[in-house]
């Protein structure tokens, strides 16, 4: 807390700056007269009026910092010279490190209140589902649609690790085979593997990153042949997701039919490790004449690596589904299979796509606000550090502790902003997944009811 020891001397500086600014013709005697008329009590009041309540910055909670009234000279009112003049007098009057820091904030702390208001008001509220179908299925339309499903299978070295119910690559192979075996009979399926060549060592990276292979060409499903294709590879190298998506586009482009729906499922336990741009590749594929939807099944993926896989699915207008065990992987694939058939599928797609668009809007808005907040925090830290550097050069006071306080404030603010923003996106993502899952489950149940009525 700044005591009376700094008030009296600081008052002179403030009055001097004020007098010079208000009347350039004022001479020194006039200023001296003002000083002589100011007693110690007036000095304290003058100090508090100009600098405000500096103790509002004394807390340790970044959320409270975000709610705090900003400094006097920020935004369009930023005036580094006034700040420097005031701070030089504060230091000259013997202020300790905390007093220097809080006074500096009172003069130059940025305004984060609107961003905190956004965080306070951020709420996930998805639209209700549209009107349900009447239960009638247009079998002719179903029969005329050619469905092509291609699985891009991660066989990188990390797939040799284990989850709760087995080795990852083994349970993933079983889940993929079960998934494709339950597709409608007319469905064409394909299996492309990546990461199965070279090694996960530096000397094997080039071969591994170039290794993406269609081991089961697009055709009708045959259980024995498909199993043989699965048995051809084991977990080995790196993770060239982008190259595999680009190769998948070539695979599907060979199919020249008009009434075709192309869907890709990427089963992966991690992000791209070969330097490619899988997000752009997915966007290109979805935006091409093929119009393939790119879905991601994140199998035992760390939270740090989920972000890229989610971006790939978003770019491909698909779904990101997490699975931490073989059973969860199988369940995720089963839910996808069940969502591909009948007129209820149209209702399901309509509502899941609408829900997904809302989710993307939530996530994009959150990212934009996080970017603005963190940029403002960095700008504040740079300004404060620049002012402190000038003060250090102009005085003999050791201000390294104040620099640490500035750095800590910036770090804590950005950490808080990031945590709050990620929590919101995580909530939006999970509620979106849950709502789409509920939509698919309702669609599946209703299709089952229609089937019962037909029997």
47-78: pLDDT as tens digits: 444 556 888 888 899 999 999 999 999 888 88
Q: Is the pLDDT of residue 237 over 80?
A: yes
Nearest Cα to Cα of residue 338 among 267, 444, 433, 186 = 444
- Tokens representing 294 are 């790119």
pLDDT at 192: 96
Q: Where are the alpha helices (DSSP H) in 231-302?
A: 241-253, 278-287
Q: What percent of the chain has a predicted confidence (pLDDT) above 70? A: 80
What burial letters (b/e) apply to 394-431, b meaning 16+ CB within 10 Å? Answer: eeeeebeebbebbeebbeebbebbeebbeebbeebbeb
User: Is the pLDDT confidence value at 323 over 70?
Assistant: yes
Q: How far apart are CA 277 and CA 94, in angstroms?
A: 56
Stronger pLDDT, 363 or 44, i.e. the higher one: 363
CA distance 61 to 128: 37
CB 102 within 8 A of CB 57: yes
Kindly report the backbone phi and psi dihedral angles of residue 154, in degrees, each rounded to the nearest multiple of 5, phi listed first. -80, 115
CA distance 161 to 167: 6
Residues paired with residue 320 on neighbouring β-strands, in sequence order: 296
Region 192-219 average pLDDT: 93
Reply yes or no on whether the pLDDT at 11 is more than 50. Answer: no
Report yes or no: 38 and 15 within 8 Å, Cβ to Cβ. yes
Q: Using alpha carbons only, how large is the chain's radius of gyration in Å?
A: 32
Q: Is the pLDDT of residue 230 over 50?
A: yes
Residue spans of the domains in the chain: they are 52-120+366-431, 139-341
The pLDDT tens digits of the residues spanning 105-162 come to 999 999 999 999 999 998 888 888 776 654 333 444 444 668 899 999 999 999 999 8
At 281-305, the pLDDT tens digits run 999 999 998 889 999 988 888 887 8
DSSP-derived letter for residue 399 is: -
Alpha helices in 26-138, H assignment, sequence order: 28-36, 40-51, 62-67, 80-92, 97-108, 113-121
For residue 256, what pLDDT is reported?
Answer: 62
The answer to whether the predicted template modeling score (pTM) of the entire model surpasses 0.75 is no
Assess whether pLDDT exceeds 80 at residue 315. Answer: yes
450 phi, psi to nearest 5 deg: -60, -40
Q: Residue 243 is encoded by which pair of tokens?
A: 């190259």
Is residue 152 within 8 Å of 196, Cβ to Cβ?
no
Residue 234 neighbours by CB distance under 10 Å? 12
Which pair of tokens denotes residue 256?
């020249």
Q: At what angle do helices 278-287 and 303-315 cross, to 10 degrees?
A: 20
User: Which residue in 74, 77, 76, 68 sits closest to 116, CA to CA?
Assistant: 68
Mean residue pLDDT across the chain: 81
Q: Quick one: pLDDT at residue 52?
A: 66
Cβ neighbourhood burial of 216 (10 Å; 0-12, 13-18, 19+): buried
pLDDT of residue 452: 42
> In what helix (H) or strand (E) does residue 212 lie, and over which residues does it extend?
strand 212-220
List of residues 6+ apart from 130 with CB closer than 8 A: 347, 350, 351, 354
Contact 31, 14 (CB under 8 A): no
Q: From 2.60.40.1930, 3.90.420.10, 3.40.50.410, 1.10.357.10, which CATH number describes the 139-341 domain?
A: 3.40.50.410
């Amino acid at each position: 807390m700044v005591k009376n020891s700094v008030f009296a001397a600081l008052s002179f500086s403030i009055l001097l700056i004020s007098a010079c600014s208000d009347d350039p013709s004022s001479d020194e005697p006039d200023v001296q007269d003002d000083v002589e008329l100011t007693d110690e009590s007036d000095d304290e009041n003058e100090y508090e009026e100009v600098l405000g309540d500096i103790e509002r910055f004394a807390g340790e909670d970044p959320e409270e910092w975000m709610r705090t009234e900003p400094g006097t000279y920020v935004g369009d009112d930023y005036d580094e010279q006034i700040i420097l003049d005031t701070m030089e007098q504060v230091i000259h009057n013997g202020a300790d490190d905390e007093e220097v820091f809080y006074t500096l904030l009172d003069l130059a702390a940025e305004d984060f209140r609107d961003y905190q208001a956004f965080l306070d008001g951020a709420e996930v509220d998805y639209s209700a589902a549209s009107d349900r179908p009447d239960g009638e299925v247009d079998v002719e339309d179903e029969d005329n649609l050619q469905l092509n499903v291609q699985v891009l299978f991660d066989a990188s070295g990390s797939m040799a690790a284990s989850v709760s119910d087995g080795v990852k690559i083994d349970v993933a192979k079983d889940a993929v085979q079960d998934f494709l075996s339950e597709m409608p009979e007319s469905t064409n399926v394909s299996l492309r593997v990546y990461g199965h060549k070279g090694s996960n060592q530096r000397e094997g990276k080039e071969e591994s990153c170039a290794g993406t292979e269609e081991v089961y060409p697009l055709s009708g499903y045959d259980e024995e042949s498909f199993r043989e294709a699965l048995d051809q590879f084991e977990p080995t190298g790196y993770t060239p997701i982008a190259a595999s998506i680009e190769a998948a586009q070539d695979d599907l482009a060979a199919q020249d039919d008009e009434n075709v729906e192309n869907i890709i499922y990427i089963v992966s336990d991690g992000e791209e490790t070969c330097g490619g741009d899988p997000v752009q590749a997915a966007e290109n594929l979805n935006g091409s004449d093929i119009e393939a939807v790119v879905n991601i099944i994140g199998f035992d993926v760390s939270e740090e690596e989920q972000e890229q896989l989610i971006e790939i699915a978003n770019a491909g207008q698909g779904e990101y589904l997490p699975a931490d065990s073989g059973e969860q992987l199988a369940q995720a694939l089963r839910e996808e299979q069940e969502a591909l058939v009948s007129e209820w599928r149209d209702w399901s797609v309509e509502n899941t796509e609408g829900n997904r668009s809302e989710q993307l809007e939530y996530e994009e808005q959150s990212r934009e606000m996080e970017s603005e907040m963190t940029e403002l925090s960095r700008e504040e830290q740079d300004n404060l550090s620049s002012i402190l550097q000038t003060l250090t050069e102009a005085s003999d006071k050791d201000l390294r502790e104040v620099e640490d306080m500035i750095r800590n404030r910036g770090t804590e603010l950005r950490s808080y902003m990031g945590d709050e923003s990620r929590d919101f996106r995580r909530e939006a993502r999970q509620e979106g997944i849950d709502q789409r899952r509920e939509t698919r489950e309702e669609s599946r149940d209703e299709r089952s009811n229609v089937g019962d009525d037909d029997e």
